[in-house]
């Protein structure tokens, strides 16, 4: 085998190993919040996890679980559970309850908020 052919074979082997070895490592960008399983102990709970990146500067990575959880009487409650990707250990619980006449997503933020830290925010709040 010639030196040129050996180098080409070595380069092809190295490229192949790189592709196969990097495959699982590429998942390292997955959210650390994957270790959390909201409502896992509730029979009948059906939530699906989706990873998101906010439009903030710097961007915030988070996982949102969406789905339903049965209430005490079996009525399905629609829930969204959002956990930041860098969450570790116990995290605070914030409940935003919906019972108004529109869709629950009508008040959910979909973009960058410039009102962070101010007392004015459109929608309902408890401190006015």
Residue-wise pLDDT for 45-76, tens only, equals: 999 988 889 888 898 899 888 999 999 998 88
Per-residue pLDDT for 80 more than 60?
Answer: yes
Residue 26 near residue 48, CB atoms below 8 Å: no
| Number of independent structural domains in the chain | 1
Instruction: Give the pLDDT band of residue 11 (cuts 50, 70, 90).
Output: very low
Token couple for 18? 């790189």
What tokens were used for 82? 């959002």
- Tell me, yes or no, whether 87 lies in a domain: yes
Q: From the CB of residue 63, how many other CB atoms can be counted at a distance below 10 Å?
A: 21
Q: Output the average pLDDT for the chain.
A: 69
Q: Is residue 50 part of a domain?
A: yes
Tell me whether residue 64 is in a domain: yes
Judge whether 10 lies within some domain: no
Domain carrying residue 51 = 29-99
Give a yes or no: residue 1 inside a domain. Answer: no
Residues 65 and 48: their CA atoms lie apart, in Å, by: 5
> Is this prediction's pTM over 0.85?
no
pLDDT at 22: 32
- Number of neighbours of residue 80 by Cβ within 10 angstroms: 15
Q: Which residues pair with 124 in a beta bridge?
A: none
Residue 125 lies in a domain: no
């Amino acid at each position: 085998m010639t030196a040129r052919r050996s180098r080409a074979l070595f380069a092809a082997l190295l490229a192949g190993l790189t592709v196969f070895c990097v495959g699982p490592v590429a998942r390292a960008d997955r959210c650390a919040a994957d270790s959390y399983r909201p409502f896992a102990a509730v029979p009948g709970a059906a939530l699906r996890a989706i990873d998101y990146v906010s439009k903030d500067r710097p961007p915030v990575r988070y996982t949102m679980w969406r789905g339903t959880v049965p209430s005490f009487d079996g009525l399905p409650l629609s829930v969204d559970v959002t956990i930041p990707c860098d969450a570790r250990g116990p995290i605070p619980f914030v409940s935003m309850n919906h019972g108004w006449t529109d869709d629950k997503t009508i008040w959910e933020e979909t973009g960058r908020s410039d009102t962070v830290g101010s007392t004015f925010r459109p929608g309902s709040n408890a401190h006015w």
